[in-house]
Structure formats: structure tokens, C-alpha cells
A and B are shown apart, each in its own frame.
Chain A
Amino acid sequence: MEQRRPRVTSVDLSVEFAGVRLRNPVMTASGTFASGREYADFIDLSRLGAVVTKGISLEPWTGNESPRVAETASGMLNSIGLQNPGVEAFCARDLRWLSERAVPVVVNVSGHSPEEYARVVERLESEAGVAAYEVNISCPNVDEGGMAFGTSCAPAAAVTAAVRAVTKRPLIVKLSPNVTDITEIARAVEDAGADAVSLVNTLLGMAIDAETRRPRLARGDQAGGAADGVAGRARGRRAGDRRRGHHDGGGRGGVPARRRLRRAGRDGELRRPDVDHARARWAD
């Protein structure tokens, strides 16, 4: 077992985010880190600001058919389909393990209807090891023809309100960049009770094989590369329209975490939680 051990410094990188005290501003992007167990051979989880888990639904979701991934210029597309074992198995297996790791746990929540999101959170309310929820509103709304909740204000707010009604824990809503004006959605979820927003989820994309002229991945979610610029704009617009906090989500471009940490330590400019995104982690 080999772990990367950077030099220990005495710089205080702690931040308070949505009411949760983090020892540093590095959080894992949901879906890139499972529930952390797989990475325990490589890093000490307690050195993270927080672990954001893979999206958890009420029942087990089997996810999409293969292929599920394609590399793109400086980034990747994925089409996992939120495969997960469901909240019961998550509590019994992953959350129990995670709660022994001395790191705040943010559970990412998925659903097909506002009620389903709320039921997942209700089940998690009885678990002591949850510091906050991150609600993924990019899931398809099955009652409305499969359109993602997060692409218009009313369904985004409906999901947020449904979850808010069943918890007093910090509530982060992860916004989709696949919208015309992200600030409208941000205001809608804040008004419905979100404590913070996560910017941003992945961009819709397609990868095409120029030789076969067929899709390598017909419908996927782009992370890294060009997604960084999109996430940057979302943060910029959000900053000009800000009432509460935000942190960077999985679709953002991914500067290796250690570099961001160095930068934060040097000039103290980094005040929001940052996310060590898939690109940096899977390559490093």
C-alpha cells in the first residue's frame, strides 16, 4: 500500500461551508469517488475537507448500458446512469464504513420525483454520520417526460422544497449548466430552502469516432476540459448574484487539488470549498 504524503504544513485551511466546518476546502465531486473506500489504499480520507458520495436513490438503480465512458479533448464523457445500490445498502455498507473515517460526509441524493428525493433523505435522517446533503437535480423527472428537474425553476424548487421539509441538515443543491440562465435556477432553489449551491454538474455531450463515423458515446456528460470554462462562467455569474455560498461541482475543469491547496495556502484567496474533480484524480 502506497500513499502520497505531501509535506505537513501548519497553514490553517479550514473553512465553514453551509454550516459545516471543513478542515480544508477540498471536497470530492460526487460520482468520481464512490464512497471513498476504493481510494483508501491511495489516500488518507481524513485529509479531505469532505467526502461527497456517489448519488444515492431510494431503490437500487442499475444504470446505463455499456459503453459508459469516452475520453474527449482534455476531458471525458460518462454515461453511468447513476448506478447505485439504493439507500438501504448504502447505509449498511458505505455510510457505516465512512462514518469511521473522521471526515465529514456529504450524501449526494438522486430521485425521479420530489417525493422520492425526500424519502431518501428521510431514511438518511436517522443516520448520525451525515454532515450535509447534496441534491442532484439533473435527474430525469419521470412525471414530466424525463426532462431534468434542474433545467427549469419550478421543478428545481419543488425538489429542494421537498427535501427541505424533511431535514434541518445543511442542504446543497447541485445545479445543471445545461440551462439558459443559471442564476434563475440558483435563486429558485435558494428561495425553496437551499443553503448552498454546487456549481456545476456535467455538460451534455456526444463523442464521435471520426473513422467509423459512429458515436463512441451517444449521450454522455462532459467533465473536464471545456467544461472548466462553463463552470467558470457559472461561478462568475453566481458571484454577481450571490446570497449564499457555493462550491465547485464535478463538471468543472479540475486543477489538481494539491496545486489549489498550495495556492490557497500562499495567498489565502480561496474561500469557497473546492472540488478535486475526476480528471485530476483519475489521472493522478
Chain B
Amino acid sequence: MSCSDLDAGQHPLLERVEVLANERVAEGVGLLVLRSPRIAAAVAPGQFVHLRIAAGADFLLRRPFSVYRAHGDTIELLYQVLGRGTRELADRVRGDVMDAIGPLGRGWDVPEDAAHVLLVAGGLGAAPLGMLAERLAARGVAVSVAQGAPCAERLVARDLFESVARRVEVATDDGSAGEPGFVTVVSHRLLVTDRPDVVCVCGPEVMARAVAAQAAEAGVPCRVSLERLMACGIGACLSCVVTTVDGRKRACVDGPVFDAEEVCWDGAEAPPRH
């Protein structure tokens, strides 16, 4: 699961994928299950697929989605209905066929000797952490999860996290699940009490930035998965850049997972509306 594993890995595949299920799993959130044997076999945690939601001129650009889980022939994607593309995606039914490019990007870089990993998920930021939690637990790594959402109805991936993590602590803005407040309260506590070897974060950029600061203060290495509007998804168009200490890098091929220390957070942007 290190970067070197990814480098040794695959070229992206272009695959026709079939919808096996598409259901609402939380307020405004869908879970899309796709039969995608080649991508499923190749994908590493934190990588994404670039999905052509509909043919024709209406949806010019593909949409990138983190792979939430991959088992056997299938991959699962979590998506929030935010704009035209995701509204269209919500209408896809069993048997529909789309095409996907994947697996794309650099996933989570967790050192082989890590014994304890803290995952921090904000809202749909849980998506790229699901597969990571499963794979880490399977190799005997202790996983803690700090998860935040606006309210209980918008918490996703709870069953997965509960089933594989040693500890899951939740915060919601309105207090309808877990403790009231932001996830950063929980992540700070777990950083101090659990002393993880590495922290993996995905969520709104302002949250990721706050958690990265907590991790830096605690002296714990921190990885962040960042979201950007994308066009090509394979590194050619330079639409999805992230400002780093080494200049502007492409979220699609140099990320989406970055070492938090290389990210220049002042370039943070509002969450994209797909």
C-alpha cells in the first residue's frame, strides 16, 4: 500500500462497467455498485475512477469518484447529489452500462510498519477511507476512526467502520449523533490518546487543514486526500492542480492523496459542485 507499490502498478484501464445496484444510503448520498472486474482487481485504497455518466453532449466531462470498496468483480462508489452530473448518476439503474477509466491517481501511502492508523472522515470524505480501513484491518493494523457530518442522517460508511475499526468516534454539527461539534474535536482527542503512527484525512478542505495542523503539532505524519474539479483525469489538462511546496501538482496523477506537509493550504478552495 505504499507509493512504491502504486508506482509498480498498473496503467489505467478503460472499462465498460455495469450498474449492479444504485441506492440511497444517507441524506443526499448514493451508493453505486458496479461490475468492473479489471478495475476492481487493480485498484488500491485512495485511488479513483473517472466515470462517463452519460453519452452525448450534455455531460461533456467525466466525473471522478473515489473507490469506496472493491471486492471480487465489483467496485463501490459513494456519491453526494450536488449538481447535474450526480443528479444524473442517481437515475442510473441496475443493468445500465457506463464507461470508466481507472484506477487513477496515487492512493494512501501507509508505511508497512505502521501498527496504528487514525482515519479522519468529514462527510463524504469517508468514501476513499472505506477501502483503506478494510485493507489495514485485514493486515492486522489497528484502525481508529474520527468521523464527522452535519447530522446523523448524513453519516455514511458507519457499518463498515464499526466492523473493522478498533474505535469509531463521531461528531455531528447538530449533535444528532455522537458528540455535538466538529470532527476536529474528536480527531484531536484520538491523536493525543491513541498516538497513531499515521493519520489519513479526507473531508472539506478547511477540516483537512485543521486536522493536518493537529497532526503536525502531535508529530504524527499526515496524509490528505484532496478533491478538485477535473477534466481529463490522467494528467494532461492541468485542471485539477494543488499548490504544494514543490509547485503546482496534479490531483489526478500526483494525488489525490498528498503528504499534508507538502500542501500549501492558502490555496484551499471551496468544495466543487459536480
Contact = CB atoms under 8 A, between A and B. Distances in A.
B231 A278 contact: yes
A62 interface: yes
A232 B232 CA distance: 25
Contacts of A203: none
A74 B57 contact: yes
Majority SS at the chain A contact face: loop
Most buried by A among B84, B232, B237, B241: B237
Interface string A23-39: 00000000111100011
Contacts, number: 103
Interface string B102-142: 00000000000000000000000000000000000000000
Interface stretch (B163-171, B184-192, B266-274): B266-274
A80 B237 contact: yes
A74 B60 contact: yes
Given A69-B61, A74-B57, 4 more contacts: A65-B267, A66-B229, A80-B237, A209-B273
29 contacts: A1-B13, A32-B232, A32-B237, A33-B236, A34-B237, A34-B238, A38-B232, A41-B11, A41-B12, A60-B247, A65-B243, A66-B228, A66-B240, A66-B243, A67-B272, A68-B241, A69-B61, A69-B240, A71-B59, A71-B85, A74-B57, A75-B60, A76-B61, A76-B231, A78-B231, A80-B239, A83-B238, A225-B60, A283-B60
A252 interface: no
B24 interface: no
Interface residues of B, number: 36
Contacts of B248: 62-63, 83
Nearest to A211: B273
A70 B52 CA distance: 16
B235 interface: yes
Interface of A: 1-2, 4, 31-34, 38-39, 41-42, 60, 62-63, 65-71, 74-76, 78, 80, 83, 209, 216, 224-225, 278-279, 281-283
Given A63-B248, A67-B269, A80-B238, A282 B232 contact: yes
